[in-house]
Amino acid sequence: MRQAIPLMLAATLVAVAPDSLFAQAPDPVLLGEGATVYADFCASCHNARASSERTDLEWVAIVLHMRARANLTKREAAAVLTFLQATNLPEGSASAAGRLDRDEVDPTRTVIPAELRSILSENAINGAAGSPSPAPTKLGDGR
């Protein structure tokens, strides 16, 4: 029994360790680029979809599919994925401000946390192709 304790402890740690425990903060430069790519290339064909429609893992597959369809570079795809995952809601989020059921999402707007709105173009926020697009600022610009 004493000899099995280390194994049992390690197995327990594996079972309970959440993915978010070691999640890294999104690269701010990539995040800003992703917002631009999202507004320019995604919105050139279809309306912007709310990032909360899918889980972070599903967006990985969907962005690969869209990269092939839109002929994006690897970095552009990584940037869009960063943006979608950064603006996605954490699963199981129960806060009144953070929890939005899919049916409650404003259909004309991408779900974007308030602190990110200042860096995003109007296209990304309005979810409409061709909406007025002031040049997005990037995190770290000091604005």
Partner 1 sequence: MRIFRAVATAGLVVLTLMPASVQAQNRSIFVVGGYGTTTFEANASNVYRNDFGASVSPVILYTMGRDVVFETELEFGMNGANTTTTLEYAQIDYLGFERVQLIAGKFLVPFGVFGERIHPSWINKLPTGPVVYGHAHGGVAETGLLPVLSDAGVMMRWAQPFSGKLRLDFSAYVTQGPQLGGEDDHDEEEGAGLEDPMPFSALEDGPAPAVAFGTGFGDNNNTKMVGARLGLLSGGSAGIYVSGFTGKYDEEDDLSFTAGGLSVEWRVAGLELRGEGVLTRQKFMDEVEATTETLNRSGFYLQGSKRLDRFEPVVRWGMLADGTVDGTTTIEGYNEVALGLNFWMRPTIPLKIAYEFHEGLDDRMYVQWAYGF
Residues that bind partner 1 (CB under 8 A): 3, 6-7, 10-11, 13-14, 17-24, 39-41, 43-50, 54, 57-58, 60-62, 64-65, 67-77, 107-108, 123, 127-133
Alpha helices, DSSP H, located in the chain: 5-16, 28-37, 43-45, 56-70, 74-86, 114-117, 122-126
Shortest spacing between CB 84 and partner 1, in angstroms: 13
Closer Cβ to partner 1, 131 or 137, answer by number: 131
Amino acid occupying residue 93: S
Shortest spacing between CB 88 and partner 1, in angstroms: 14
Shortest spacing between CB 126 and partner 1, in angstroms: 9
Specify whether the CB–CB gap between 34 and 79 falls below 8 A: yes
Those residues whose C-beta lies under 8 Å from the C-beta of residue 32, and which sit 6 or more positions away, are 119, 136, 137, 138, 139
Shortest spacing between CB 57 and partner 1, in angstroms: 6
Q: What is the CA radius of gyration of the chain?
A: 18
Closer Cβ to partner 1, 82 or 119, answer by number: 82
Those residues whose C-beta lies under 8 Å from the C-beta of residue 133, and which sit 6 or more positions away, are 39, 40, 121, 122, 123
Closer Cβ to partner 1, 30 or 39, answer by number: 39
